[in-house]
Amino acid sequence: MTSAKTLPTLDISRFDAGPAERDKFLEELRVTARDVGFFYLTGHGISENITREIVELSRRFFQLPDEDKLAIEMANSPHFRGYTRVGLEVTRGQADWREQIDFSSERDVLPRTPGTPDWARLQGPNQWPATLPELKPVVLEWQRQLTDLGIRVLEAFALALRQDKDVFAPIYETGAIQHIKLIRYPGRDATGGDQGVGAHKDGGFLTLLLQDVQGGLQVEADDGTWIDAPPVPGTFIVNIGEVLEMASNGFLRATVHRVVTPPAGKDRLSVAFFLGAALDAHIPLLDLGADLAAQALGPTADPLNPLFREIGQNYLKGRLRSHPDVAERHYADLIDAKAKREPASAY
Cα angle 334, 335, 336 (rounded to 5 degrees) comes to 130
pLDDT value of residue 265: 87
Per the CB < 8 A criterion, the answer to whether 160 and 30 are in contact is: yes
Mean pLDDT, range 44-66, rounded to an integer? 97
pLDDT value of residue 344: 38
CATH ID of 9-330, from 3.40.50.970, 1.10.10.10, 2.60.120.330, 3.40.50.300? 2.60.120.330
Between 162-166, 191-195, 249-253, 321-325, the lowest mean confidence (pLDDT) is in 191-195
Select from 16, 7, 6 the least CA-distant residue to 40: 7
Interval 84-108: pLDDT, tens: 999 888 887 788 889 999 999 999 9
Residue 183 confidence class, pLDDT cut points 50, 70, 90 = very high
Mean pLDDT, the chain, integer: 91
Asked if pLDDT for residue 232 goes beyond 70, the answer is yes
pLDDT value of residue 87: 85
Distances, alpha carbon 146 to alpha carbons 50, 207, 238, in Å: 11, 10, 12
pLDDT value of residue 4: 58
Q: Identify residue 24 by its one-letter amino acid code.
A: K
Q: Identify residue 200 by its one-letter amino acid code.
A: H
Q: Comparing 251 with 263, which gets the higher pLDDT? A: 251
Asked if pLDDT for residue 340 goes beyond 80, the answer is no
Mean pLDDT, range 230-252, rounded to an integer? 96
Asked if pLDDT for residue 334 goes beyond 50, the answer is yes
Residue 174 confidence class, pLDDT cut points 50, 70, 90 = very high
pLDDT value of residue 197: 82
Asked if pLDDT for residue 341 goes beyond 70, the answer is no
Per the CB < 8 A criterion, the answer to whether 41 and 116 are in contact is: no
Pairing of strands 217-220, 257-260: antiparallel
d(CA 313, CA 129): 30
Per the CB < 8 A criterion, the answer to whether 255 and 326 are in contact is: no
Pairing of strands 38-42, 9-11: parallel
Share of the chain above pLDDT 70, in %: 93
Select from 345, 175, 216 the least CA-distant residue to 272: 345
d(CA 58, CA 65): 14
Cα angle 331, 333, 339 (rounded to 5 degrees) comes to 70
Select from 240, 256, 246, 156 the least CA-distant residue to 206: 240
d(CA 331, CA 84): 17
Mean pLDDT, range 183-197, rounded to an integer? 79
pLDDT value of residue 346: 38
User: pTM value?
Assistant: 0.93
User: Residue 36, class by beta-carbon neighbours within 10 Å (0-12 exposed, 13-18 middle, 19+ buried)?
Assistant: buried
- Secondary structure class of 159 (helix, strand, coil): helix
Interval 276-330: pLDDT, tens: 999 999 999 999 999 999 999 887 766 667 788 899 999 999 999 899 999 999 9
Helix (H), strand (E) at residue 20: helix 19-35
Residue 336 confidence class, pLDDT cut points 50, 70, 90 = low
250: left (phi over 0), alpha (psi -120 to 50) or beta: left
d(CA 286, CA 165): 13
Asked if pLDDT for residue 273 goes beyond 70, the answer is yes
Helix (H), strand (E) at residue 41: strand 38-42
Per the CB < 8 A criterion, the answer to whether 193 and 95 are in contact is: no
Residue ranges of the domains in the chain?
9-330
DSSP 8-class letter at 288 = -
Mean pLDDT, range 250-261, rounded to an integer? 94
Asked if pLDDT for residue 145 goes beyond 50, the answer is yes
| Helix ranges, 96-175 (H) | 135-160
Interval 193-209: pLDDT, tens: 677 888 889 999 999 99
Per the CB < 8 A criterion, the answer to whether 36 and 253 are in contact is: yes
